[in-house]
Amino acid sequence: MEILHTQRLILLPLTEADATDLFRARGDAEVMEFWDGPPDVTPSETTAIVDTLLSDVRSGAAKYWTIRLLHDGSFAGVCDLSEIQNRESAEIGFMFLRMFWSMGFANEIVGCLLDYAKSLGLKRVTARIHAGNIRSQRLLQRTGFRLVQLLSKYEIRPGVFRDCLRFEATLWELSHMSDRAQTEVW
Ligand SMILES: CC(C)(COP(=O)(O)OP(=O)(O)OC[C@H]1O[C@@H](n2cnc3c(N)ncnc32)[C@H](O)[C@@H]1OP(=O)(O)O)[C@@H](O)C(=O)NCCC(=O)NCCS
């Protein structure tokens, strides 16, 4: 998997060793407010989730990165391209520790992942978010996504329903600079 860089961040392939850092985000109820699953209660729950994510990476269905500050390597969050359909599409996901919200970091990583998806030959990237997730909505609209579907009472996990919005970015339409995502093979 590739290491990606933005101006201020480095995206490193997720490993088992990242579970402790990831628990800081997944264990925070405010960060998880609009996530499909509930917050993790114990670090071992996060470890089990990381195992599942890594098995999706091994099967080729997804790519997960931890997001770290370029200047000191501090953990800032996690992002992904999942449901990868070769030459067609992928779904984007992102999550930052609260202390890194409102700094434009999410803006940077979405642009970077779109450029990367384009370099893989994908035609579009989609995002499904909860209708109440205004920060994500603003982020997606700012980075070139458009709203394509309202999913009323979508079952986010067994027996739990939320109104969701599906956004889509058509990659050939975007003028994201192809040199913004600098990659190296890991
Ligand atoms: C969704 C999420 C990543 C959005 O984070 P965010 O902080 O709102 O987004 P950004 O990092 O792009 O920051 C944008 C803000 O930073 C400001 N900003 C500050 N410096 C900036 C800079 N150098 N460049 C761009 N924007 C900057 C922008 O003006 C904007 O302000 P606003 O929030 O008042 O509009 C974050 O809220 C999160 O992790 N949520 C929990 C997980 C989640 O719900 N994920 C989505 C489900 S897939």
Q: What is the pLDDT of residues 53-82, one digit of tens each?
A: 999 999 999 999 999 999 999 999 999 999
Q: How far, in Å, CA of 146 to CA of 107, rounded?
A: 15
- Exposure of 23 by Cβ count < 10 A (0-12 exposed, 13-18 middle, 19+ buried)? buried
Q: How far, in Å, CA of 36 to CA of 28, rounded?
A: 14
Q: Ligand 1 pocket: which of 94, 135, 151 to mutate (most atoms <8 Å of CB)?
A: 135
C-alpha of residue 59 to centroid of ligand 1, in Å? 31
Q: Which residues pair with 66 in a beta bridge?
A: 12, 78
Q: Which atom of ligand 1 lies at the shortest distance from residue 31's CA?
A: 41
Q: How far, in Å, CA of 106 to CA of 179, rounded?
A: 18
- Exposure of 52 by Cβ count < 10 A (0-12 exposed, 13-18 middle, 19+ buried)? exposed
Q: How confident is the model at residue 176 (pLDDT cuts 50, 70, 90)?
A: low
Handedness of CA 158, 38, 19, 138 (dihedral sign): positive
Q: How confident is the model at residue 179 (pLDDT cuts 50, 70, 90)?
A: very low
C-alpha of residue 123 to centroid of ligand 1, in Å? 25
Torsion of the alpha carbons at 175, 127, 60 and 33, rounded to the nearest 10: 130
C-alpha of residue 132 to centroid of ligand 1, in Å? 15
Q: Can you give the residue range of the structural domain that contains 91?
A: 2-185
C-alpha of residue 161 to centroid of ligand 1, in Å? 25
Q: Say if CB 184 and CB 148 are below 8 A apart.
A: no
Q: What is the pTM of this model?
A: 0.93
C-alpha of residue 95 to centroid of ligand 1, in Å? 10
Q: Which atom of ligand 1 lies at the shortest distance from residue 127's CA?
A: 48
Q: How confident is the model at residue 41 (pLDDT cuts 50, 70, 90)?
A: very high
DSSP 112: H
CATH number of the domain that residue 93 is part of: 3.40.630.30
Q: Given this model, what pLDDT does residue 1 score?
A: 86
Number of domains into which the chain is organized: 1
Q: How confident is the model at residue 173 (pLDDT cuts 50, 70, 90)?
A: confident
- Exposure of 24 by Cβ count < 10 A (0-12 exposed, 13-18 middle, 19+ buried)? middle
Average pLDDT for residues 92-105, to the nearest whole number?
98
Q: Is 135 in the pocket of ligand 1 (CB under 6 A)?
A: yes
Q: Is 103 in the pocket of ligand 1 (CB under 6 A)?
A: yes
Does residue 103 have a pLDDT over 80? yes
